[in-house]
A and B are shown apart, each in its own frame.
Chain A
Amino acid sequence: MNTLFEKLWDSHVIEQLDEESYLLAVDRIYLHDLCGTFAFQMMKENKKDIFRRENVYATPDHTLPSRKDQRKDACEISRLIMPKFREGCKRYGITLFDTGDSHQGIVHIIGPETGLSLPGMTIVCGDSHTCTHGAVGALAMGVGTSEVYHALATTCVIAKKPKTLKIEIKGRRKEDISAMDIILFIISQVGIDFGVGYAVEYTGEVVRHMNIDERCTLCNLTIELGAEYGMVSPDKTTLEYLRTREYAPSGDNWDAMKEYCGQIATTSESIFDREITFDISGISRQISWGVDPSQTVAVDGRVPEIVKGSSIAEKQSYEKAYAYMDLRAGQAMSEISVDYVFIGSCSNGRITYLKQIAELVRGKKVAEGVTAWIVPGSAQVKKTAEQMGIAEIFTKAGFSWGEPSCSLCVGSNGEMIPPGKRCVSTTNRNFIGRQGRGARTHLAAPYTAALAALNGRIV
């Protein structure tokens, strides 16, 4: 029996190009301000038009500052990109959720949230975290600019068929353990190239009990395992989540989609090329110490030492990490003090997490000397948090509350961590310079990030 991934792949094949490469039909294309603007440029240079404009949606996220006063294109990059992005959307007749629109947000948040990302869809976006949309049972892939251009011009993508990898997550999850802790733990166990050449499907009791926000977090960080696809088979939770979404089908169409979900889901008879199981009973909250997401330990752990018998490459990457992060082997994580905290991004800027940390933050204060930002992932998340009174809890505690944007995750909107400063961040990449030149990033779940903000150190 085929897996979810294989069923979706096979049903979208237009042509097999060679032993491994296929031409696949694309059901949905998302454009953000960076990939969109660059792809429009290629469309113009090559004098092409869009094959099916009705399956393309655009929203700005990467170059938008999250600071309200800087929102109106005050940052240099935004001033450069946004007019071209808007002009392109207009020229090609693409639906744009612009700033101020109730649907605007980080593209990987708004896809599932609006119901534009549906089970069984093939989805393409010029961003490696497109795998996020796999959380609703879609086959979603991150691609480069040329491929976005290709998808726009042909409504197809050329892709190499990966092998399938089942990651089963089982065990008893401690209350303070978030999806982010689980996926960081997995990456720390297997490394950042474990998934290269595979499409990952997450299964097991822990995943079944996760809501869609949490499944989005798992799928989001799949690319940090080296795999280009992360997904979860659609189930009751998926359907319940989508039922009320604005763009989700209704009436007979809803029933037809529901039936289809049953057909595409992986079953106990589906065969994967590779399987691995993680028991997460007893794991503690996780935090990265180094410069790639696999360099992660428990918050109550220590900066690891180079073990005897390590390869030259391993040694080299540890030494690079110690130096850049200004840490020494054996140092307790809880000794590390923090200058900045960032809660947001396509990994964790969702309402589930804001609700969770609101309880922790209520009535407390951000520690002196810590700059703490919470940036909701979408206009919808922002509105909900404000209506629920959560935003007020955060601002009263001394967090600054922003407008939907990629903000401090990516260094493309003027918002950056200053050189040498240390930030606990709920994002997905702690690469050298990712949050700004010389910035030191510790990846963690929103709960851990909030604790760091309140205590001024890793807790």
Chain B
Amino acid sequence: MERFEVLKSQAVPWLMANVDTDCITPMKRLLLDMDNIAYYSFEPYRFVNGDGDKGALNMDFPLNMERNKDAKIMITGENFGCGSSRETAPEAIRKCGIRCLIGSSFGGIFTKNCYQQGILPVKLPESIVVKIAEEAETGGIFEVDLPKETVKTPSGETYQFEIDKARKQALLEGMNDVERTMQYKEKIVQYIEQDMQKRKWLYAKTGIDENKGGAKC
């Protein structure tokens, strides 16, 4: 995972509410076109008539605009990333070059998936999001400072945001969750041993395990 510290970039404003992950990475694309997932991301909005097969780009869609080509920040509408748990949604967003989302709210599972993909989801009050989205239209440079937990707009306004300590640390170090968890391996083993005494039925072999029920691979 790429480390995240201070990000300086233009921001793409797109305040569409309730953008679901089915729209961000349509099922067909994540199965058959994963190599081009950035190109097909947001397909219902990115293409004329939502048709990626015909390939005509909808130039009103902010991510298609020439001036947003190098943007690493996206300003999003409320409840962005709701719906399906597919991690390809933040993966596609990352592959579009975006490392930070700024919005008033995000889907719960989507938020967790963003961290797995090294994307920082910044939550700010809706009134501020609307205001900075307007400012983003001018194409100025925003600065997202993770150590300080601040967003600085091109006009110099600075807003504080909050982030869980563990998530912040992981982003700063570009650290892998599995490695971090395995630091607690002893505790995990200990938990299982104790739980085996407390909740025996969870560990009991049922007749099924031996005889039927699924191919024993």
Contacts and interface: CB of A to CB of B under 8 A. Distances in A.
Interface of A: 14-15, 17-21, 23, 25, 27, 38, 46, 48, 51-52, 57, 63, 76-77, 80-81, 89-90, 93-98, 101-103, 114, 118, 120-121, 126-128, 142-147, 149-150, 153-156, 158-160, 162, 192-193, 196-197, 223, 226-228, 246-250, 252-254, 256-257, 260, 292, 313-314, 316-317, 410-412, 429, 431-434, 437-438
B37 interface: no
A226 B177 CA distance: 25
B217 A19 contact: no
Contacts of A144: 85-87, 109, 112-113, 116
Contacts of A150: 177-178, 181
B85 A127 contact: yes
Nearest to A314: B17
B165 A128 contact: no
Contact of A249 (B18, B82, B178, B204): B204
Given A52-B192, A95-B217, A246 B208 contact: yes
A15 B43 CA distance: 41
Interface of B: 15-18, 20, 22-23, 26-28, 31-32, 43-44, 50-51, 77-79, 82-87, 105, 107-109, 112-113, 116-117, 164-167, 176-178, 181-182, 184, 187-188, 191-192, 195, 199-202, 204, 206, 208, 212-217
Contacts of B217: 89-90, 93-96
Contact of A253 (B43, B107, B182, B201): B201
Contacts of A77: 31-32
A95 B164 contact: no
Contacts of A410: 27
Given A144-B113, A247-B208, A316-B16, A120 B215 contact: no
Given A316-B16, A317-B18, A15 B87 contact: no
A33 to B, nearest CB: 11
Contacts, number: 209
A386 to B, nearest CB: 20
Contacts of A120: 199
B24 to A, nearest CB: 11
6 contacts: A63-B31, A155-B188, A193-B18, A252-B200, A313-B77, A433-B44
Contacts of B86: 144-145
A95 B204 contact: no
Given A97-B214, A412-B31, A17 B166 contact: yes
Contacts of B164: 18-21, 160
Contacts of B165: 17-19, 21
